[in-house]
Structure 1
Amino acid sequence: MVNLGTNLPGGAAGGGTHPSGRRLTWFEAIAASPRPAVVDHAADGDRIELSGRVLANWAAKTANLLDIEGHGPGSTILVDLPLGWKSLALLLGAARAGVQVRFAPLSSSAPAKPESVDLVVSGTPGAWSEHPADLWAVSPRTLTSSGASEFSEASGASGPLPSPEAGLPSHALDYAAEVQMQADQCHLPLPGTSLPSLVEAWEDLPSPQSTEQPTDHDGARLSRWSHRERGLVVAAAGGRLDYGAARAVVGTWDRGLPVVLVPESDTDLSGASAKLVEAERLGNPRQ
């Protein structure tokens, strides 16, 4: 595994210049990189690698769709999605569009107050069918399919994306079908702050259910991610995309490093995960 931003001295947000001599913005720096930004070992058992350029294409398409649907600075969206490379791309698109994000820790959490959310993006849209906000449906197949050729430089293809299953709320927008029709470039004004600062203002939606951190067989608390010398390891199996994960991920991208999703439900990284981390050359845990 090589550094996403080896040519960006200050990380993705803080270094690099345009050919004109202008300093790159954080989004331009990610989009300019052919190096890995996300490597997902938890999607259908395959290894899926997205360069910074491909990740930025997905994010730009998402930001453009948000804009077309009337969601931009001043809007609040609720994200109810599991961890995966496509949900991370959607997260970056939300940052690019400058929307405020809240996270649903559990798909069965009580909906947010109607006046506090403008859009719900969910892998379980039926749970939100009575919510007054706009609703985007994201099929589990969309989140877990490898889609190796989608928006990839290697194939140049952006073939049809899986659609959500039948029986969706009639007013729900099919994210997979709509996002592929958007442009790969986003010309919206970039939010005037760094990527970590944007995400710092996001938050989790309080859940009425227990959210105690899981423990191992000995009762020790399990960590959901591990900061390494050359990247971030995230336990994706069964995990939710929430505020803590979002901060860890964007902080890693901001340093010009890749995010690696592993299939284990914890990040003790024994067995197969340890081999994956070694193969990706992420180095030792950061102290």
Structure 2
Amino acid sequence: MDSTVTTILHRLRGGNSSAPRLTWYGPDGERVELSGRVLDNWAAKTSNLLVEEFDTERGTRFRLDLPPHWKSAIIALGGWQAGAVLVDGPADLVFSAEPGGREGTASEVRIVVALGALDLAYRGELAAGEVDYAALVRQFADSFEPFDPPAADDDAADLRGERLTQSGLLERVAEAFEPGARVLIDAGRPLHEVLATLLGVWAADGSAVLRHPDVEDSPKLRATERITAG
């Protein structure tokens, strides 16, 4: 049984690391496929960004004002791997798809995430003090060696009034799937539900196809991607 998100990432980059683990179908016709190794690399880059740029440590609070997307999943993994706590209220770090966003506290650092398929940076203007995730994250190493890694009983989430540890996130929230399942996930669902499904898929050594609501759930898609669940 996995006890932390880091143990899941270790398994994704081990074994058959070239196998697809997350496939994204976006609204502009894009298809993005991440192998276990690439998924882990992106999570590592994000963890390094958080630690080196924003002094993230165990207990740092981060919020995702983002829709379900492959980048949302990467950022969640990177935050958890660094020991940060995903929240839906006041946070130290806030990831948003647009500048400004909902009003927060003066101490929040706002990180804007470009979601376009080919976006290497946010295309618009950022407000003073905001950070461009896409422009920065590629500069960081694709392996992560934490000085103080999160333990199973460290907090990982505080959502809708429920606090969860790293092990609790995997044992109580992650959905259960058959080993090796290929799961189709509707990205129109709330982000916390999508993340719970993804964690369950990867804990079962499976893979996920995350489908934007504008992309039809068709027999052709299911056959092409060899969907077995969802």
| TM-score bracket for this pair, using the shorter chain length | 0.7 to 0.9
**TM-score normalised according to structure 1 size:** 0.64
Tell me the residue number matched to 1:126. Answer: 100
Residue deviations 1:173-214, cap 9 Å, x none?
A: 1111111110011011432229xx975x34158xxxxxxxxx
User: What is the rounded CA distance, in whole Å, between the counterparts of 1:45 and 1:227 in structure 2?
Assistant: 28
**TM-score normalised according to structure 2 size:** 0.79
User: Does residue 135 in structure 1 map to residue 110 in structure 2?
Assistant: yes
Residue of structure 2 aligned with 1:203, choices 159, 165, 171: 159
Q: Following superposition of structure 1 onto structure 2, how do residues 30-41 of structure 1 map, counting pairs within 5 Å?
A: 30-32=12-14, 33-41=17-25
Tell me the residue number matched to 1:178. Answer: 136
User: Does residue 64 in structure 1 map to residue 48 in structure 2?
Assistant: yes
Tell me the residue number matched to 1:280. Answer: 225
User: What is the rounded CA distance, in whole Å, between the counterparts of 1:186 and 1:226 in structure 2?
Assistant: 28
Q: Relative to structure 1, is the Cα distance of residues 260 and 204 closer, same or farther in structure 2, using a 3 angstrom cutoff?
A: farther
User: Does residue 144 in structure 1 map to residue 116 in structure 2?
Assistant: yes
User: Does residue 250 in structure 1 map to residue 199 in structure 2?
Assistant: yes
The CA RMSD over aligned residues, in Å, is 3.0
Count how many residue pairs are aligned between Structure 1 and Structure 2.
210
User: Does residue 263 in structure 1 map to residue 222 in structure 2?
Assistant: no
User: What is the rounded CA distance, in whole Å, between the counterparts of 1:85 and 1:63 in structure 2?
Assistant: 16
CA drift of 1:92 comes to 1.0
Identity of aligned residues (%): 30
Paired AA for residue 167 in structure 1:
E
User: What is the rounded CA distance, in whole Å, between the counterparts of 2:229 and 2:55 in structure 1?
Assistant: 44
Residue deviations 1:214-251, cap 9 Å, x none?
A: xxxxxxxxxxx996872321112x5552x222111111
CA drift of 1:47 comes to 2.1
Tell me the residue number matched to 1:48. Answer: 32
Paired AA for residue 109 in structure 2:
D
CA drift of 1:85 comes to 1.2
User: What is the rounded CA distance, in whole Å, between the counterparts of 2:197 and 2:217 in structure 1?
Assistant: 23
CA drift of 1:284 comes to 4.9
Residue deviations 1:15-56, cap 9 Å, x none?
A: xxxxxxxxx933211122221110112253122210010000
Tell me the residue number matched to 1:191. Answer: 150
Unaligned ranges ≥5, structure 2: 162-174
Give the 3-state SS of the residue equivalent to 2:68 in structure 1.
coil
Check the 8 A contact 2:64/2:72 in 1, yes or no: no
Q: Which has the higher strand share?
A: 2
Q: Relative to structure 1, is the Cα distance of residues 166 and 28 closer, same or farther in structure 2, using a 3 angstrom cutoff?
A: same
Tell me the residue number matched to 2:64. Answer: 79
Paired AA for residue 149 in structure 2:
L
Paired AA for residue 112 in structure 2:
A
User: What is the rounded CA distance, in whole Å, between the counterparts of 2:193 and 2:181 in structure 1?
Assistant: 20
